[in-house]
Chain A
Amino acid sequence: MKRDDLKSANGPAAARRRGMRDAFGAPALVLFASMMGFGSLARESGLDLWTTIATTIGIWGLPGQMVMAEMTAVGAPLFAIAAGVAAANARFLPMTLALTPLLSEWRGSWLKRLAFAQFVTLTPWVAALQRFPGMAHEDRVPYYAAFSAVCMMGAVIGTAVGFELAGQLPRPWTLSLVFLSPAFFSMVLADVRHRAGVLALVSGACMGPLLHGISPDWGIPLTGLLAGSFAFGVDFLLRRRSTGGAT
Chain B
Amino acid sequence: MNTGNLWMIVGVSFLATYVWRALGMVIASRLHPDSPLSRWFACVAYAVLAGLIARMIIIPEGALADAPLMDKLIALSCGFAIFFLSRRRTTWATATAFAVFAGIALWRAT
Interface residue ranges, A against B (CB under 8 Å): 1, 25-26, 30, 37, 41, 46-48, 51, 54-55, 58-61, 63-64, 66, 68, 72, 78, 81-83, 85-86, 89-104, 113-114, 116-118, 120, 122, 129, 133, 170-176, 178-180, 182-192, 196-197, 199-209, 211-213, 219-221, 223-229, 231-232, 235-236
Residues of B within 8 A of A170 (CB): 109
Are A209 and B46 within 8 A (Cβ)? no
Q: A85-B13, A179-B75, A186-B53 are in contact. Are A197 and B43 (CB under 8 A)?
A: yes
What string of 1s and 0s marks CB contacts (under 8 Å) between B57-73 and chain A? 11100111011000010
Alpha-carbon distance A213/B36, docked complex (angstroms): 31
Binding site for A on B (CB under 8 A): 1, 3, 6-25, 27-36, 38-59, 62-64, 66-67, 72, 75-76, 79-80, 83, 88, 90-91, 93-95, 97-98, 101-102, 105-106, 108-109
Contact B101 A183 (CB under 8 A): yes
How distant is B42 from chain A, measured CB to nearest CB, in Å? 4
A183 to B14, CA, bound (A): 26
Is B13 touching A81 in the complex (CB atoms < 8 A)?
Answer: yes
Establish whether residues B45 and A172, one from each chain, have CB atoms under 8 Å apart when the complex forms. Answer: no
